[in-house]
Amino acid sequence: MNQPSPQDAIRAELLANEMLEHLAVEVPDATDDAPTRIAFVGPYNAGKSSLISALTSDLSISRDSKPETAEVTYYDWNGFHLVDLPGWFSGFEAHDETADDELRLHADLVAFCLTVELGDHNTQDAIERVLGDLGFADRAVVIVNKSNSEDSGDGVILAEIAKRLKGFPGVPRLLTDAQDYLDTIEGVLDLDEAALAFLQRDSNVPELEELLLGLAGRKQDARADAQAQQTHRVLNEAIGLLVPDPEEVAGRALLSDLETVFRACQARLENARASEQARLVKELSGLANDVIENIRQGGTYENGRASAARHWSDAHRQALGRLNQTLERELDQLSEDTATTLNLVPLEEVDSVGHGSGPSPGPSKPSLLKRMFDALELKPNQILNPLAQEADRVARGGKGKDSIAYVLARELQPNKVFKPHGRLKDAAKIHDAAAKASKLGKVLPSAFPALLEGANWWRELRADQAAKERDAKIRADYETEALTASNDLSLQFQEWLDVAFPPLATKLAAMGEPLDELRVERHAQIERLEALRRALSNKADATAEPLPESTATFPDGSPH
């Protein structure tokens, strides 16, 4: 069983990726055993068809000053195929494309045809491309046709063409006049055989025949060289298309911007938390002095502690309130900053970004950035919904004796003697506050238990200490409790963040998944293509000119 050729493996690899599959048809057929093809290329009206007619003595070949040749035509000649291509620069784009495709895909040797006028910069660019970029410098001849139709001497013309070919000194060049030769075999000249033979020799068509046969004899591996060059061009183009396109680059930049927005928001929240903790510790620790002063003024420890407890509760509640407001404000700012960042790349522009220069047949896939937007699903109005559940529960529980609000009121002041309906009044206040917070969607779930615990902390102190020890104890206890309260505040705030941020972080990570998938797929395919390139190079003749390497680089700095 025959082993598949590198070209077959490359073709299969390209067909596996819809972004590259259009290149599969440009991979040469390694089993092509047709006769060696000598492609006649050049500007229109350079006499390509006339030269082929002269070489083959086939007078039926159409010859006209207009851009006559529109299709590729093969002619048998001495066991080879002379290939007549449409001329370049005729103004017919289809002619140029047909000539380019045939030259890249099927030409083995090249006869580059000019006239004594030598053409303009377009012709010079074509010479550079065919002999240089396409690698035909050692498999080509340059023919300057219609040389007998001008008064310029052969030396002047050859000197000028030498300047044009200074980058390719080894390429043979020859002056010809195909029409002179055709005139001798068409019977339109009233000349004797000696004069006709002289005119044929002066046309240099016989010398051209020897030149082409000699080139074909020397380059018996022309087919292999041509196919290797074309295959490497295809590989280079495929690897170039796998380099991150503008859409992917924009996607990574956008994701980086969003991550910056999130980090900035979290940093501001962390600063706010640290500031509130320090402030709370200072305020709560300072309440010890109020208790001590109350005792010194003849009051009781219990009264001083009860008074301080009210301040304690107020300070804690105010700290919670400020952090709550900070969280609300920062989440609103996060939503606004995220929306602003997303708007840096309008959706209508995103949808217009393609995947490279080649055609992409078949149904189009959703835009990469649109997939990223879909993964984010940012809906600011839903960010705080989980935080309102506790308030909703309290608000829905009503105001009666069996309500959650009533239970909270009882826990808040378990030893207080209430007047008739006093407890219900407190329950009503709690219920109304929860209802208001629930409607705003900005209450934080664990606020109530923290507020309730503060009212009972003063019971933990002993009332029978000596004044000095008592004062030290009061201060130490207040500092300890203040630190505990500070830590509780931090934990509570972290709980809020744990509710608010993970969904957004998950969505942000989901935005990067398409990019990561593309990166992995791209690098894996590039590695496979590079391996196929090496396999192809290993089959090439060790004495041959090195095959071209890819010059593709990645904007994101990642290796091939």
Cβ 526 vs Cβ 560: under 8 Å = yes
Inform me whether the pLDDT recorded for 29 exceeds 50.
yes
Strand pairing class (80-84; 73-77)? antiparallel
Helix (H, G, I), strand (E, B) or coil at 170: coil
Q: Which residue has the tokens 């529960």?
A: 393
Q: If you average pLDDT over residues 156-184, what whole number do you get?
A: 88
Instruction: Flag whether the pTM goes above 0.95.
Output: no
Q: Which CATH class is domain 6-242?
A: alpha beta
pLDDT digits (tens, 9 = 90+) for 359-402: 333 344 455 555 555 555 544 344 344 445 666 777 778 888 88
Separation of CA 281 from chain center: 50
CA quadruple 194, 200, 203, 204: dihedral sign: negative
C-beta atoms surrounding 306 within 10 Å: 14
> Which candidate, 78, 27, 74, places its Cα nearest to that of 215?
78
Size of the chain in residues: 560
- Model pLDDT, residue 361: 37
Which positions ≥6 away from 403 have C-beta within 8 Å? 397, 427, 431
Distance between CA atoms of residues 146 and 67, nearest Å: 17
pLDDT digits (tens, 9 = 90+) for 328-354: 888 778 777 776 776 644 434 433 333
Q: Where are the domains of the chain?
A: 6-242, 246-354+366-384+465-516, 385-441
C-beta atoms surrounding 521 within 10 Å: 12
Cβ 84 vs Cβ 69: under 8 Å = yes
Distance between CA atoms of residues 6 and 2, nearest Å: 12
Q: How much is the CA Rg of the chain, to the nearest whole Å?
A: 44
Kindly list the distances between the CA atom of residue 76 and the CA atoms of 36, 38, 83, 204, 412, in Å, as whole numbers in the listed order.
10, 10, 9, 20, 106
Amino acid letter, 489: L
Which positions ≥6 away from 234 have C-beta within 8 Å? 10, 14, 23, 26, 27
- Model pLDDT, residue 80: 94
- Model pLDDT, residue 367: 55
Helix (H, G, I), strand (E, B) or coil at 120: coil
Judged on CB neighbours under 10 Å (0-12, 13-18, 19+), 176 is buried
Distance between CA atoms of residues 388 and 320, nearest Å: 15
Inform me whether the pLDDT recorded for 44 exceeds 80.
yes
Inform me whether the pLDDT recorded for 490 exceeds 50.
yes
Kindly list the distances between the CA atom of residue 237 and the CA atoms of 21, 24, 29, 131, 242, in Å, as whole numbers in the listed order.
12, 11, 18, 19, 9
Distance between CA atoms of residues 425 and 408, nearest Å: 12
- Model pLDDT, residue 227: 87
- Which range of 110-119, 169-178, 281-290, 442-451 scores highest in mean pLDDT? It is 169-178
pLDDT digits (tens, 9 = 90+) for 506-543: 777 777 777 777 788 888 888 888 888 887 777 654 33
- Model pLDDT, residue 422: 75
For 67-88, give the secondary structure using H, E and C. Answer: CCCCCCEEEEECCEEEEECCCE
Cβ 368 vs Cβ 515: under 8 Å = yes
